[in-house]
Amino acid sequence: MTDKPIAIAGDHAGYPLKAIIGEELGAMGYEVLDLGTHVATTSVDYPDYGAAMAAAIKDGRCEKGILICGTGIGISIAANRHPGVRAALCHDETSARLSREHNDANVLALGARVIGEVVAIDCLKAFLTTEFGAGRHVKRVEKLG
């Protein structure tokens, strides 16, 4: 477990799942840094929340984060435009585990309209409990910048 909080952020489509993920993080003993959105009824732009996550990682408020939008695609693209972010869009426990083990992903992206609550929590747990495998993967991750 990290000493720093786990950041969560998402757009209006991701809001309900973001609330569930936030509760699960708290139950797992993590401090949560909620970067918004804080309402599901107002349409917001997912790139703003990808940028907020990148800023939180860059300035050291967190080392890992969870991003959620309708599909997870847009918000992961938005976050990955920023140096230091390795956001992995995951749809199952295996992809979440391998995103950490092989790619040293520091942000888990989820699609609220694509996966259910149980799968999302499975992804979360795999993401947070898997260490980077290092070894042959180091040079590849370094090439990501």
Domain with 86 in it: what CATH number?
3.40.1400.10
In a domain, 1, yes or no: no
Contacts for 18 with CB less than 8 Å, ≥ 6 apart: 8, 9, 10, 34, 66, 68, 112
pLDDT digit string, tens, across residues 59-118: 999 999 999 999 999 999 999 999 999 999 999 999 999 999 999 999 999 999 999 999
71, part of any domain: yes
CB-neighbour burial class of residue 131 (10 A; exposed 0-12, middle 13-18, buried 19+): exposed
Residue 17, domain member (yes or no) = yes
pLDDT band at 2 (very low <50, low <70, confident <90, very high): low
Specify the 3-state DSSP secondary structure of 93. Answer: helix
Say if 122 falls within a structural domain: yes
Q: Is 15 among the domain residues?
A: yes
The pair phi, psi for residue 71, each rounded to 5°, is -110, -15
Cis previous bond, 37, omega within 30: yes
CA 7 to chain centre: 8
Find the domain containing 93 and state its range.
Answer: 6-143
State the catalytic residues: 69, 102
Number of domains in the chain: 1
Beta-carbon count within 10 A of 101 CB: 16
Residues present in the chain in total: 145
pLDDT digits (tens, 9 = 90+) for 16-50: 999 999 999 999 999 999 999 999 999 999 999 99
